[in-house]
A and B are shown apart, each in its own frame.
Chain A
Amino acid sequence: QSVLTQPPSVSGAPGQRVTISCTGSSSNIGAAYDVHWYQQLPGTAPKLLIYGNSNRPSGVPDRFSGSKSGTSASLAITGLQAEDEADYYCQSYDSSLSGSVVFGGGTKLTVL
């Protein structure tokens, strides 16, 4: 069971908007630690998608956006495309744990 909770799956049709939530607690997201997001395409290594809650690395389309509020964070994908079908993970820091890096359980995005 992950410290950060994500829905196991979400889906949407091409062109639609989907959101993926990442729910934490007062020892991680709620303690003002940043949330970062990764995309993992099938059979590949994870790739950084969003850092510092809402910042996109160069090369990441502006269809991807992140936000954070209270003990939760969200990843939004607009104008859904077939190539967005992947697993998405949130990551943060937890002050109550040894080493402190925590990941969400991951969300499988299916493009219908």
Chain B
Amino acid sequence: EVQLVESGGGLVKPGGSLRLSCAASGFTFSYYSINWVRQAPGKGLEWVSSISSSSSYIYYADSVKGRFTISRDNAKNSLYLQMNSLRAEDTAVYYCARSSGRYCSGGSCRASNWFDPWGQGTLVTVSS
């Protein structure tokens, strides 16, 4: 079974740091780009960061750029998110999600980027 399991969430004070982990199983982790997506309480989904299969390409949302660092260890089938200088507005459930990049339809194939599967999420609360 293809599975992603997040861990590392918790309560942290503003300005503090936290490191999230995402453990993958059931697929060849090193073949796929992986993402972090967050959801503030009662709000919608917000993409946070992406990392390519070999870590060559890394992207961040403007809201976390310079404060968060995404990384991966393909030997351990694991994804990480180092979060520094945390703010109250970073309070959210953080999901890791695998990018799935190519499909064929109507006789032609094309690259695309959808997220499947998702982990169950880990809650990060930033509060004094």
**Number of B residues contacting the other chain (C-beta, 8 Å)?**
29
Number of interchain pairs (Cβ within 8 Å): 76
Interface of B is mostly: strand
Q: Is B35 in contact with A101, judged by CB distance below 8 angstroms?
A: yes
Chain B residues engaging chain A, CB cutoff 8 angstroms: 35, 37, 44-47, 49-50, 59-62, 65, 95, 97, 100, 103, 105, 110, 112-121
- B105 partner, pick from A45, A52, A57, A105, beta carbons under 8 A: A52
B35 to chain A, nearest CB (A): 7
B93 to chain A, nearest CB (A): 8
Query: Assuming A2-B44, A38-B45, A98-B61, what are 18 further A-B pairs, CB within 8 angstroms?
Result: A34-B112, A36-B114, A45-B119, A51-B100, A51-B103, A51-B114, A51-B116, A52-B110, A57-B116, A91-B115, A93-B113, A99-B47, A99-B50, A99-B59, A99-B60, A101-B113, A103-B37, A103-B46
Give the nearest-CB partner of B99 in chain A. A101
